[in-house]
Each structure stands twice: as C-alpha cells, then as structure tokens.
Amino acid sequence: MKSILLVEDEEAIARVLTAYLRKAGFQVTRAADGQAALEAFETSPPSLILLDIMLPNIDGFELLHLIREKSRCPIIMLTARDGIKDRLAGLDGGADDYMSKPFVPEEVVARVHAVLRRPSYWSDGSGKRHFGSLLVDFAARHVFLNHAEVNLSPREMSVLLFLAERPNQICTREQLIERVWEMDYEGSDRAVDLSIKRLRQALQHWPADEGEIRTLRGIGYQLWTE
C-alpha cells in the first residue's frame, strides 16, 4: 500500500483529504506543522507528500528545500497562495505539482495518482541514480538506502550496478555471467541465484512500492521500479 504524508494544519481540510485518500487505498499519516512533518518523513519516508505552505515552525517552502536536499520523494503543494510567484517558487524548488485552495478532493486524489504513475527513478547528472530512497552511485560504486550506506560484496555491487543501469529491463543469466562474472564464472547454476538472494537481503528495507529485485523464473532478473 502506498503511503501519503499529509502536511496540513487546518483540521477540516486534513480530515476531508484523509478520508478521500484512504478510500482510494492509500495509507495516510498527517503532520500539522513543518517540524512534525520533517520528523515523520525521516522516520518513515512516504510514497508522496501533500504539502501546505503556511505552516507553523517550518513553512512549506523551507520544508520543500530540506526534503529536496536528501530525497526526490514526490511532493504536491496544496496552498491558498496561488500567485504566479508562489507557483514558480514551488515548482522551481522541486515540487512535482501545485494546487490552489479551495480544491476538489477528487482532483487531489487524481493528481496523486498521476504523479505516482511517473517513473520513480531519476539521474542527477553526476553518475548517480535515485530509486526512491535507494541511491546508486555508479562512479564511486557505493549504494545508500535512506542515507545509510549498504554493505555489499564486490560481486553483489557489480550485479546491482548492472541491473540499475537497466531499470525495468529483464537481464538474462547469460548476460549477468558475461558482464559480471566474465572469466571467473565456475559454471555453478547457483552462483547467480546466490548473489541475487544476498542482494535482496541487503536491500530488505527498501520499500516495495519504490522497487525490488525480481527473479523471472526461466527468463532472468530485473530491477523493477514504477
């Protein structure tokens, strides 16, 4: 189930949006101020954030900046400030969408679905690729999950890099053997499966709605992400 962090200090609006989002099948966590929202985000990163601008403690623009320093979690801004300068500030700051109050709850749900249908992985131009909370640094051969480095063996790292270069593509066993094992492959049918198994264990806390390492029996392997 995809999770939504609703950052809204107006109780009536929060109650209505929570009801509509839950009816649409989302898990909803609500934060009534910017500091609580930041703590909720860091404790359990959501699939998407609905973010008001005028908030106590930390306003929406500052919260957007703080989150964008560490994550590409989708963010839709919901606010009564509908001037063009505010819209541009939100979108230029990294918001994925911007909706003005008053709004129709059904449209908010539709916008959430639309944003979540976009590819969840992106490259930042520095040899790094983000898959939700998973960061793969191809140049440095490092992997981070929720900002903590993932400890992988050289072989497991090579397998992950190979798959991460081809998100959602099916890679055959033969391709992995040729590109990762090369001349070191000893011919064991279990060698590739064992590396995939260990890789999954290392990434066991990667949220399933962000991606996963899949085995397609008789076909190959895939780093799947929406």
List, in order of start, the domains of the chain with CATH numbers: 3-116 (3.40.50.2300), 121-224 (1.10.10.10)
* 181: DSSP letter: I
User: Would you state the pLDDT for residue 183?
Assistant: 60
Which pLDDT score, from 0 to 100, does residue 184 have? 62
Rounded distance between C-alpha atoms, residue 2 and residue 24, angstroms? 10
**Does residue 168 have a pLDDT over 90?**
no
pLDDT 10s digits, 65-77? 998 887 778 899 9
Q: Residue 139 has what pLDDT?
A: 87
Percent of the chain scoring above 90 in pLDDT: 45
pLDDT tens-digit series, residues 191-222: 888 999 999 999 999 988 788 999 988 888 99
Each residue of 126-156: pLDDT tens digit? 678 888 888 899 989 999 998 889 999 999 9
DSSP 8-state secondary structure symbol assigned to residue 169: -
pLDDT confidence of residue 150: 95
Strands of the chain, DSSP E: 3-7, 27-31, 48-51, 75-79, 97-100, 121-123, 128-131, 134-137, 142-145, 148-149, 212-216, 220-224
Percentage of the chain exceeding pLDDT 70 = 92
Confidence band, pLDDT 50/70/90 cuts, at residue 10: very high
For the chain, the first-to-last Cα distance in angstroms comes to: 13
Measured distance CA(115)–CA(203) in Å, rounded? 25
Mean pLDDT check: name the lowest of 102-116, 118-132, 209-223: 118-132
Tokens (6 digits) for 200: 């999954």
- Check residue 90 and give its pLDDT: 79
